[in-house]
Amino acid sequence: MKVIIVGGGQVGCYLASLLIERGHKVTIIEAKDNRIEVLKRSLPHDTILQGNGAEPKVLEAAGIRQADVVAAVTGSDENNLVVGTLARLEYGVRRVIGRVNNPKNAWLFTPLMGVDAAVNQADLMARLVAEEMSMGDMMTLLKLHGGKYSLVERIVSPGSSVQGKLLRDIELPTECVLVAVIRNSDLLIPRGETMLQGGDKVVTIVHIDQLENMEKILGAGV
């Protein structure tokens, strides 16, 4: 996959490193001399292009006509929005991601402006804190299907209603699948005859509407 990253700050540099490690073809665009020197210490030199990523000629030099994804992650919301609009409306890039630095500008980062996904760091942090506070000891490992489902981990509390029960005898919430049971250092593939014990880590895929029910089932005193 061909990816163009506009913005060579810490976010852009880290993103480029991850994508290169995974075998993707990456070009990162950065305007500032001092950041170019930092990038050269971390990334292959042939992945780095100096210039203003909001200019069409620079985007074309980066190969935007062949790009599958453009990620605009500069520290300027204005630049990120210009890059996103150019990438989608001028060059027809099929996937455009824009970083939102000021949450007040989030309403601008829409598909109408060329941005498929807006990464609002402040909003993500607020949602994460609120979710973790509301879900007690349940930890969200991964969001799936646009956030409708979560891969979560929860330790079976001593005294839980499921402690000592076989999985086939446990009534799980609808739209919930038990993926794994981690006991000490062993990972157990869930079977009907698997018996849950206090202290087991249970990993499940569950719809967001059923998270609270899963927490109650695995928690103590239920």
- What's the pLDDT score for residue 123? 64
Dig out the tokens for 26 from the structure: 């990456």
Q: CB 126: neighbour CB atoms within 10 A? A: 12
Share of the chain above pLDDT 90, in %: 55
Dig out the tokens for 94 from the structure: 């099929």
Which amino acid is residue 71, in one-letter code? Answer: A
- What's the pLDDT score for residue 134? 46
The candidate with the shortest Cα–Cα distance to 16, out of 36, 221, 190, 34, is 36
Which amino acid is residue 3, in one-letter code? Answer: V
**pLDDT per residue as tens digits for the range 58-114:** 999 999 999 999 999 999 999 999 999 999 999 999 999 999 998 889 899 999 999
Residues of the chain with pLDDT under 50: 133-134, 222
**Interacting residues of 162 by C-beta distance below 8 A, sequence separation 6+:** 156, 170, 196, 217, 218
Helix (H, G, I), strand (E, B) or coil at 91: coil
- What's the pLDDT score for residue 122? 65
Half-sphere exposure for 205 (CA within 13 Å, toward CB): 10
**Phi-psi group of 173: left, alpha or beta (phi > 0 → left; psi -120 to 50 → alpha; rest → beta):** beta
- What's the pLDDT score for residue 139? 77
Backbone phi, psi, residue 71, to 5°: -120, 115
The candidate with the shortest Cα–Cα distance to 56, out of 89, 34, 32, is 89
The candidate with the shortest Cα–Cα distance to 47, out of 85, 8, 86, 83, is 8
